[in-house]
Structure 1
Amino acid sequence: MRRRSLILAAVPAGLVTLSACGDDKSDSSKASDSASPSAPAPSATSAAPPPKIVDGPLPAITAGAKFGQKPTIAKGTGTPSDQLAVKTLIAGSGKTVVEKDTIQANLIGQLWDSAKVLVDTFSTNKPQFTQLAPGASMDGIRYALTGKKVGSRVEFSVPPTWGFGAEGNAQAGVKGTDTLVFVFDIQEAFGPKSSAKGQDVPQSDAAVPKVGTNTDGKAPSIEIPKSAAPAKLVSNYVIEGDGAPLVAADTVLVQYKGVVWETGKEFDSTYTRDAPTSFSLQGVVKGWAQGLTGKKVGSRVVIVVPPALGYGDSPPSGSGIEKDSTMVFSVDILTKV
């Protein structure tokens, strides 16, 4: 299993999202301040060989046919395919999505037999981040969307073999015999090497760590000053983007690297996990929430988190962070929803 990032205030509990994407935002607003690292809840993946991609059958879209509109999906009729039925309803012209990309998409998912809706981000206008990688998303979603273009609307059905398997998902109301039907509107796609985009900002304060400005997808360097750590939170632009500023209720997709001020030792990084990560600003340690609020999408930010706004005397077990450590992060804000 992939290791969950250490910036979360607590591990989100409850239901694996129906897209089984390991998304950190589903329950993060309920997180407490007692942090501990943990593997994410298991995704709906299988050891089955890749499915055949077939044209149908697929239920009709009876309303909301335009990209961005909430679609109404008819109840399935007849017997669904035992393979992966996929149809591009609207062909986009953007970036081609490849495996390991993280997509931002609105989606609706329901049961074939009853048309019971299980997940719907169109109604909440809160697109979801889904990484199309083994162990990170439902196999059926990964196979259906890899190779599609940003701007596309894709309808597909997922039989149990590439969905929740024969055991189903009782908490979600999915039986082991249920076929799922999805419509995804793919808004954006980000790869493992996605970086900040903007203008370099002078780093002239000798008391603040200096962060590399490379945008080649490799982890930037972090140079710690040979001085005492600041007692207060520091949050400065390294690269200033031109996107919208973050607000406290946002969910963001980021690349980041974290080191301990006292030792310079790296303790966490999305670059080593080969995937950006998403989270709600309401579900991270206070230093992150305060340090990112107001910063612009597209930016790289250096954040120095004092113990009182980090883990204090209760660092996550096995994290490599000692009690009362000051943490230093380089954070690339890729997008927000």
Structure 2
Amino acid sequence: MRRRSLILAAVPAGLVTLAGCGDDKSDSSKASDSASPSAAETSAAPPPKIVDGPLPAITAGTKLNEKPAVAKGSGEPSDQLAVKTVIAGNGQTVAENDYIQANYLGQIWSSGKVFDNSYDRKTPLLIQLAAGSIIDGWRYALTGKKVGSRVEFSVPPTWGYGKNGNAQAGIKGTDTLVFVVDLQGTFNAKSSAKGSDVAQNDAKVPKVGTNTDGKAPSIEVPKADPPKKLVADYVIEGDGDEVKADSTVLVQYKGVLWDNGKEFDSTYSRKALTSFSLQQVVKGWAQGLTGKKVGSRVLIVVPPDLGYGDNPPAGSGISKDSTLVFSVDILAKM
């Protein structure tokens, strides 16, 4: 069992409390009330063969990030994974276990019925391309593709929702599915903030390193009493969308104690990004990240009343009434 990120273990009264143990899952997979590609069982099937077709034509919405219209499938679909790069991007290459941000549309081959799409929601999907997080067809079809690409692919039941289908979405266990996916971004344990450095002139607050090489930044805590109020300052200011109070974000972060500068939690140490809703975390994080821009690195100093107060997580190394210091890279949001 992997250690759960401490920022999600919000224990004190008045904070959102999550289940006690488990791996780092978030509500980023809950893209809609219908059948997002994350809502499937993990298949134990061997990898499919990647074939060129057949695939139905995209008849409208042919530009990247335009909602596509896709023709009904003609004839019998492949019993393997048919994949076509419709628009070739030139961005970073997607690797398995990366988090991806993408717009997508899914429909049933035989009927042409659209069962889910992110374009109408105006909210791209943010999800890990990993077994157990997303249907296998997505993992096999998108690994190796580049950001900025539009990829069309068909997924037979073996690498989709299996023989049970997905009744809520009207998908039968015999249905082959067709997806069009516009890849907007890919993120992994080496991802960092991207933006402009912001001057750190206040000697009363910690100073955070500005390296963007995927390694953990330094955090220098001053020899002074901690602030009584929340501090949330840009270290690197990105140019992405602003984070909202109910956003789900993908982050790199490092947390240290004000008293001794000791690290108590870090995605860099785990070599694994964390994705969560701001409604799931301690108040200091929720308030500190709301309004900040995607792509930024933010210094957050969390006083006890906005952190864990007198009830820190057991085994965390955090004492009662500790002031916590975080460097947070906001990589993406949905």
TM range (shorter): 0.7 to 0.9
The corresponding residue for 1:277 is: 274
CA contact (8 A) 1:100 1:192 kept: no
Moved more, 239-248 or 296-305: 239-248
Q: Distance in 2 between matches of 1:42 and 1:3?
A: 24
- How far 1:102 moved relative to its partner? 2.3
Q: Distance in 2 between matches of 1:27 and 1:139?
A: 17
Residue aligned with 2:162, SS: coil
- How far 1:168 moved relative to its partner? 4.2
Change (3 A) 1:66 1:287: same
Residue aligned with 1:7, SS: helix
Is 1:24 the counterpart of 2:27 in the alignment? yes
- How far 1:58 moved relative to its partner? 2.3
Change (3 A) 1:135 1:210: farther
TM-score by length of 2: 0.80
Q: Distance in 2 between matches of 1:88 and 1:10?
A: 43
Q: Unmatched 5+ residue regions in structure 1?
A: 13-20, 29-40
Residue aligned with 2:269, SS: helix
Moved more, 138-147 or 187-196: 187-196
- How far 1:155 moved relative to its partner? 1.1
Give the alignment of 1:117-196 within 5 angstroms. Answer: 117-169=114-166, 173-196=170-193
CA contact (8 A) 2:26 2:276 kept: yes
Given residue 253 of structure 1, which amino acid in structure 2 is its aligned partner? L
The corresponding residue for 2:291 is: 294
The corresponding residue for 2:105 is: 108
Given residue 283 of structure 2, which amino acid in structure 1 is its aligned partner? K
Is 1:65 the counterpart of 2:62 in the alignment? yes
Q: Distance in 1 between matches of 2:134 and 2:272?
A: 13
The corresponding residue for 2:34 is: none
Change (3 A) 1:236 1:149: same
- How far 1:218 moved relative to its partner? 1.0
Q: Distance in 2 between matches of 1:283 and 1:88?
A: 37
Q: Distance in 1 between matches of 2:194 and 2:314?
A: 35
Deviations 1:287-321 (A, max 9, x none): 11221223333321110112322233454555554
Deviations 1:140-163 (A, max 9, x none): 111101121222111112223222
Of the three residues 228, 234, 238, the one matched with 1:237 is: 234
Deviations 1:77-102 (A, max 9, x none): 44332211111222223333233332
Given residue 181 of structure 2, which amino acid in structure 1 is its aligned partner? F
Q: Distance in 2 between matches of 1:306 and 1:106?
A: 38
Q: Distance in 2 between matches of 1:48 and 1:24?
A: 26
TM-score by length of 1: 0.79
Q: Distance in 1 between matches of 2:91 and 2:321?
A: 46
RMSD between superposed Cα atoms in Å: 3.2
- How far 1:186 moved relative to its partner? 1.0
Of the three residues 37, 44, 48, the one matched with 1:47 is: 44
Given residue 333 of structure 1, which amino acid in structure 2 is its aligned partner? I
Deviations 1:46-82 (A, max 9, x none): 3332211012222333332222211123343443322
The corresponding residue for 1:7 is: 7
Change (3 A) 1:273 1:168: farther
Q: Distance in 2 between matches of 1:169 and 1:311?
A: 40
Deviations 1:80-128 (A, max 9, x none): 3221111122222333323333222101123334444332110011011
Q: Distance in 2 between matches of 1:161 and 1:219?
A: 40
Moved more, 209-218 or 263-272: 263-272
Given residue 286 of structure 2, which amino acid in structure 1 is its aligned partner? A
CA contact (8 A) 1:23 1:130 kept: no
Deviations 1:190-246 (A, max 9, x none): 332111223433434343233222211011233334444322111122223344544
Q: Distance in 2 between matches of 1:152 and 1:64?
A: 14
Q: Unmatched 5+ residue regions in structure 2?
A: 9-15, 32-37
Give the alignment of 1:87-102 within 5 angstroms. Answer: 87-102=84-99
Given residue 203 of structure 1, which amino acid in structure 2 is its aligned partner? Q
CA contact (8 A) 2:236 2:296 kept: yes
The corresponding residue for 2:305 is: 308
CA contact (8 A) 1:22 1:43 kept: no
